[in-house]
Amino acid sequence: MGQIDDKRYLELIKEKEELEANRPFDVDLMRQWKHSMSKILQELELFH
């Protein structure tokens, strides 16, 4: 991976950890959380 890829990978890992730590309990907020987490996980899969 290049330097830019490494930086993006670390940003995604940080975002994922923040989302995991701040999981909401409200149904509407949970839908937004799930969408955000899904986008992060999809992009992380590109690195593997």
Q: In this predicted model, which residue has the larger pLDDT, 3 or 36? A: 36
pTM: 0.83
Q: Helical H runs in 1-26? A: 3-21
Fill in the amino acid letter for 35. Answer: H
Contact 46, 32 (CB under 8 A): no
* Owning domain of residue 15: 3-45
User: Residue 48 has what pLDDT?
Assistant: 77
Residues in CB range of 9: below 8 A, 6 or more apart:
1, 44, 47
Number of structural domains found in the chain: 1
**Mean pLDDT value across residues 2-17:** 92
Distance CA 31, CA 25 (A): 10
Q: Is the pLDDT assigned to residue 1 strictly greater than 60?
A: no
